[in-house]
Amino acid sequence: MTKLRDPDVAVFLPLNPVVFRILMVLTEGERHGYSIVKEVEKESKLLAEGIIEESARRPDPSDDDARRRYFRLSALGRRVVRAEAARLDELVRDARARDLLPEPGTAEGLTG
């Protein structure tokens, strides 16, 4: 069997941003197509909107892979998640006021 000559990587550059993101996701291991698409969409949207940001902190090098990217909540992201928790809390309080959920700490179960 004849081994094909490896092409010079320069012929692939520059990568468009979507291809680059797909390759970045695949550095973490094998994924099926839908999983790749969802991860790229999620990460790109959250980064673009400023809800998450890349973190400079890294685990101990013996526990890390240099290809991995680490993310954290941005200040905006923290405000967004707090606002969503408050929104959900309000919905739960409204459901309790309508006798759709038991009060906290009661043994009452949900019935039809």
- Classify residue 57: in a domain, yes or no: no
Judged by DSSP in three states, 98 sits in coil
- Classify residue 94: in a domain, yes or no: no
Instruction: Please choose, from the candidates 83, 24, 2, the residue with its C-alpha nearest in 3D space to the C-alpha of residue 91.
Output: 83
- Classify residue 61: in a domain, yes or no: no
- Classify residue 68: in a domain, yes or no: no
Q: What is the mean pLDDT of residues 44-72?
A: 78
CB 23 within 8 A of CB 46: no
CB 65 within 8 A of CB 24: no
Average pLDDT, the chain: 81
Q: Does the structure show a pLDDT above 80 at 18?
A: no
At residue 24, the pLDDT reads 77
- Classify residue 34: in a domain, yes or no: yes
The model's confidence at residue 3, banded by pLDDT at 50, 70 and 90, is: low
Q: What is the mean pLDDT of residues 83-92?
A: 92
21: domain range? Answer: 9-48
- 17: preceding bond cis by omega (within 30 degrees): no
Task: State how many domains the chain has.
Answer: 1
- 59: preceding bond cis by omega (within 30 degrees): no
Comparing 42 with 100, the larger pLDDT belongs to 100
The percentage of the chain sitting over the pLDDT mark of 90, rounded to a whole number, equals 20
Rounded to whole angstroms, how far apart are CA atoms 53 and 77? 9
Q: What is the mean pLDDT of residues 41-49?
A: 85
Instruction: Please choose, from the candidates 73, 71, 49, 47, the residue with its C-alpha nearest in 3D space to the C-alpha of residue 58.
Output: 71
Q: Which residues are paired to 73 by β-bridges?
A: 52
